Structure 1
Amino acid sequence: MTKVLLAEDDPTISDPLARALRREGYDVMVRADGVSALAAASTGPDLVILDLGLPQMDGLEVCRRIRSTGIVVPVLILTARADEVDTVVGLDAGADDYVTKPFRLAELLARARALLRRSSSDEGQGARVRIDAAGRRAFSGDRELQLTAKEFDLLRVLVREGGKVVSREDLMREVWNTVWVGSTKTLDMHVSVLRRKLGDDATDPRFITTVRGVGFRFETDDGDF
């Protein structure tokens, strides 16, 4: 049975969420603080759903320690912080995806299923990325990527310009229909999420490379996506 670790200190959230996960057929462990959550993570869950605002040890630190100990498990963070900086920090700490509170239960369960599918698939085969523009669907090999509208639009532009550097200005204009006038935290957040969903390693990316001071490049072997 698939094991899910749910680390959430608010019982009004953890109780109904745990019931929903169990209805999905998962074996759910619930922990209400960061220290016990970190200990439970070492028992080998298949997925960690991690609130950032945990007592004793916050969710960001729990996530960092999970990654630093070499535990291989997808992490879905829950956050009440709408600020994009906090979201980016969470992803940089090693989280695979995030959901902001209040969330729709169906969306969270869909994100959880997507992460579990990704973790069970073989991501070491150098799978190509394919875009179905008409159907607004994206695939990595045979695996369909679960993307938001903006994530899809961003990936579509990067893949279309494969092998070329796309500037931040061009991405902001084409994806967000706006002129870039300073901060691009929104763009950085979406690139971080895309990398996680593609299974990219930030230190040795197979797909999206950051070109400092300019923008991003989608890496290709032969121009065939």
Structure 2
Amino acid sequence: MKILMIEDNESVSEMMQMFFLNENWDATFEYDGKEGLDAFLAEPDKWDMITLDLNLPTMDGVTVCREIRKVSNAVPIIMLTARDSESDQVIGLELGADDYVTKPFSPLTLIARMKALHRRAELVGEEGQASSDATTAFDVETKHFKMNTKTREAYIDEQLIEGLTPKEFDLLYTLAKKPRQVFSREKLLELVWDYQYFGDERTVDAHIKKLRQKIEKVGPQVIQTVWGIGYKFDDSGVEI
């Protein structure tokens, strides 16, 4: 993988450099938010993964994340934060980060999260390629909804749901391919994030909130809350 790590703590970067080298990953380090954003913008298609510190000089991680997502919804972003604050983590997730790790962290934990995120992206891509050679073929298709994992596009009544991040797309696909089945937050964490979050359900809730906002821009809400359990996809009651 080609990694862009935007982190102002040089000791953290030096430590992670050793672990990245051990994985044979090519890592670039930037110690300033604006410089990190400029490195991304110079070659937006180059990066397989971005790790982004929340507290950065010149430009904070929240702003950097927002600007990256204006250019690319595809590149996975893991946000690093020294604050064990629910609000900071939720803000990061709602802005488009795919995951977060709270400092201080174990390098092995971060590596595991990065591998899981990258593995999931590769699996979804393989599923899309295996599904059909035609970009017009849909992997999920109901009365009002259709989804293509190869083009990474989803539609409600022929209206494209725009700006889906990798995790938002994966979450929607997981729900939509089994309409009306109720998924607990724990099960969604296992299926979509590919590893256990040990009960950190706010990750799912933050992604669901952002996903609903994007769906509502083009059509009726198809993700339903099942109180006390989790979420389900259901467009059976949708009226045009």
Report the TM range for the smaller structure's normalisation: 0.5 to 0.7
CA contact (8 A) 1:63 1:93 kept: yes
Equivalent in the alignment of 2:2: 3
> What root-mean-square deviation, in Å, do the aligned CA atoms of Structure 1 and Structure 2 show?
3.6
| Counterparts in 2 of 1:80 and 1:45: CA distance versus 1, 3 Å | same
1:75, CA displacement in angstroms?
0.3
Structure 2 counterpart of 1:148: 197
Q: For residue 208 of structure 1, report the CA deviation from its aligned partner.
A: 4.8
In the TM superposition, residue 26 of structure 1 has moved relative to its aligned partner by 0.7
2:232 maps to a residue whose letter is: F
Counterpart of 1:99 in 2: which secondary structure? strand
Answering whether residue 206 of structure 2 is matched by residue 192 of structure 1, we say yes
For 2:8, what is the secondary structure of its paired residue? coil
Quote the offset at 1:190 in angstroms.
4.4
Report the AA paired with residue 145 of structure 1.
Answer: D
User: Compared with structure 1, are the counterparts of its residues 208 and 110 closer, same or farther at alpha carbon in structure 2 (3 Å cutoff)?
Assistant: farther
Question: What is residue 35 of structure 1 aligned with on the other side?
Answer: 34
Q: Distance in 2 between matches of 1:50 and 1:11?
A: 14
SS of the aligned residue for 2:57 comes to coil
- Structure 2 residue runs of 5 or longer lacking an equivalent are 129-147, 150-172
Alignment map for 1:8-27 (pairs within 5 Å):
8-27=7-26
Aligned residue pairs total: 176
Cα separation, partners in 2 of 1:139 and 1:84, compared to 1, 3 Å: closer
Q: Report the CA distance between 1:203 and its aligned residue.
A: 1.5
> Cα offset for 1:217?
3.3
> Gaps spanning 5+ residues in structure 1: where?
155-186
Equivalent position SS for 1:90: helix
- Please give the alpha-carbon distance, in whole angstroms, between the structure 2 residues aligned to 1:202 and 1:113: 29
SS of 2:90's equivalent in the other structure is: helix
2:225–2:232 contact (8 Å) kept in structure 1: no
Aligned position for 1:158: none
Asked whether the equivalents of residues 73 and 119 of structure 1 are also in contact (C-alpha less than 8 Å), the reply is: no
User: 1:42-191 to 2 correspondence within 5 Å?
Assistant: 42=41, 43=43, 44-70=46-72, 72-120=74-122, 121-122=124-125, 124-125=148-149, 126-127=173-174, 128=177, 138-139=190-191, 145-151=194-200, 187=202, 189-191=203-205
Q: 2:215 matched to which residue of 1?
A: 204
CA-CA distance at 1:20 after TM superposition: 0.7
Q: Tell me how far 1:220 sits from its aligned partner.
A: 5.0
Percent identical among aligned pairs is: 33
User: 2:222, 2:27 → 1: CA distance?
Assistant: 34
Q: SS state of the match for residue 217, structure 1?
A: strand
Separation (CA, whole Å) in 1 of partners of 2:60 and 2:48: 21
